[in-house]
Copies of this chain bind each other. A is one copy, B any other.
Amino acid sequence: MDDDSDIARLMALMARIPGLGPRSARRAVLHLIKKRSQLMVPLGNTMQAVAQSARECLNCGNFTTGDLCTICTDVARQNGQICVVEDIDDLWAMERTGAFKGRYHVLGGTLSPIDAVGPDELRIPRLIDRVTTENVQEVILALGATIDGQTTAHYIADHLSAVTVTTLAQGVPVGGELDYLDEGTIGAALKARRTL
């Protein structure tokens, strides 16, 4: 191991990035040093720029460099629908489908009594606020099919009686083979079966 403290420090920091361990962090640092001008310098600069400018959108919780994010300020998007997601990576996943043209609301997690995460720790009051002020007709709950996700979904549905609250369909994933699916998924798909 090189004793040069900056390189050692860089390896230690890189190893804390999810998806990289100590070994792959070493490989990454070696690659970065070799590609100093093409990769390391712009990466370092961009990281500092993002660290300085990135903040949460005051309206929906998405990342932005201003007060409001590009989705909240986009006049081409429809107003009447809000898609509620747990975290920003879920928002990105929804956006990649290109199937949703409304607005988003990022909760910042799920309700979890064990971890002392209540409605006020999430962006739930702000959501209830938005539903009344933004002339919303439908709230789509795109939360994980986990216990915490479903608890959160039911809590939100209970507090939004004035609008239609929908949730993502459960069933067989595209390309999925029955043999590899768990019983819960097959059961849900059977219950929600539709006429061909």
- A residues whose Cβ falls under 8 Å from a Cβ of B: 1-4, 6-7, 9-10, 13-14, 16-20, 24, 26-33, 36-37, 39-51, 53-54, 62-65, 69-70, 87-89, 92, 95-96
**Residues of B with C-beta under 8 A to A16:** 39
Which 3 pairs between the two chains have the least Cβ-Cβ distance? A44-B47, A19-B24, A44-B48
Q: Are A42 and B18 touching (Cβ within 8 A)?
A: no
Q: How near does chain B come to A45, taking the closest CB pair, in angstroms? A: 7
Q: Which of B6, B7, B30, B88 meets A89, CB within 8 Å? A: B30
Q: Are B4 and A63 touching (Cβ within 8 A)?
A: yes
Q: Given contacts A6-B65, A19-B28, could you give 10 more A-B pairs where the C-beta distance is less than 8 Å?
A: A4-B54, A6-B46, A6-B50, A7-B54, A7-B63, A17-B28, A17-B39, A19-B24, A40-B51, A41-B48
Q: Are B6 and A96 touching (Cβ within 8 A)?
A: no
A4 and B67 CA atoms in complex are apart in Å by 12
Q: Which of B29, B33, B70 meets A4, CB within 8 Å? A: B70
Q: Are A92 and B33 touching (Cβ within 8 A)?
A: no
**Residues of B with C-beta under 8 A to A39:** 13, 16-17
Q: Which of B20, B37, B40, B64 meets A20, CB within 8 Å? A: B20
Q: Are A50 and B7 touching (Cβ within 8 A)?
A: yes
**Residues of B with C-beta under 8 A to A19:** 19-20, 24, 27-28
A sample of 27 cross-chain residue pairs with beta-carbon separation below 8 angstroms, ordered by A number, consists of: A1-B95, A2-B70, A3-B70, A4-B65, A4-B70, A6-B50, A6-B54, A6-B65, A7-B54, A10-B50, A16-B39, A17-B20, A17-B31, A18-B24, A18-B28, A19-B20, A19-B24, A19-B27, A30-B88, A32-B47, A33-B51, A37-B51, A40-B50, A41-B51, A43-B47, A44-B44, A44-B45
Q: Are B46 and A48 touching (Cβ within 8 A)?
A: no
